Structure 1
C-alpha cells in the first residue's frame, strides 16, 4: 500500500503567533547593552579603560621604538599617534571588553567565595 505525500504546511499570516514566539523575543542591541552595564557596572568600565590604557601604552612604545606609521599620525607626537592608533581599534577593544568582563566577574566571585573555611570541608554542626 502506498502512502500519500502531503505538501509542507506553511503558516497562515492571519494566525496569531504561538505563545513561545511571544515569550522570547530577541532583545534589541540597546537593551542588551543596558543589561550588560546593569549587571557588570563599574567592572565593565574598569576593564574597558584598562584595555584602552594597555593599547595606548603599547602603541606609544611601538612609535617610540621607531615603528614607522603611515599617514598623518606618524608625523604627530608619540601620544597623538598612539591615541589615533587606539581609535582605529576601538571596535575590537569593545569586543574584548564584552568578552573579558564576564570572565573576570566569574574569577572575582570565585576568589571572594574561596576562604580558609571552604577548603576544610563542611562546617561542624
Structure 2
C-alpha cells in the first residue's frame, strides 16, 4: 500500500488562493439596491416635505399704501414722512427694492408702493 504525502505548504497555499467571498453580478445588484434604497427613500421624503406653503383666503390688498410723487420730492422725504420711527436709509433701500427702481431717483407723477406697516 502506498501512501501519498502532501506537503503542509501546499494546503496553506490552497487556502490562501481561494477567495473568502465570491460576489456574482446578481449579488452586486442586490447589494447596491439594498444600500441605495434608504437614500432614495430619504430623498423622496425630503423633496415631498421640503416646500411647505400655506394658502389662505385672506387678502393682502391693504399691505401697501400707494403714494404719488410730487415735484421736488425725494425718496428720503417720502421715507421721513411715511416712516417717521424708522431709519430713513433702511426705508429708502426697502422702497427701491419693493418698487424695483433702478436708482434712488424719483420723478413727479410716479406712483410708489409703501408698506402699510410704515404708515402704521
Would the TM-score normalized by the shorter structure come out above 0.5?
no
Larger radius of gyration: 2
TM-score range, shorter chain: under 0.3
Greater share of residues in strand: 2
- Which TM-score applies when normalising by structure 1? 0.23
- Which TM-score applies when normalising by structure 2? 0.23
Greater RCO structure (CA 8 Å; 6+ sep): 2
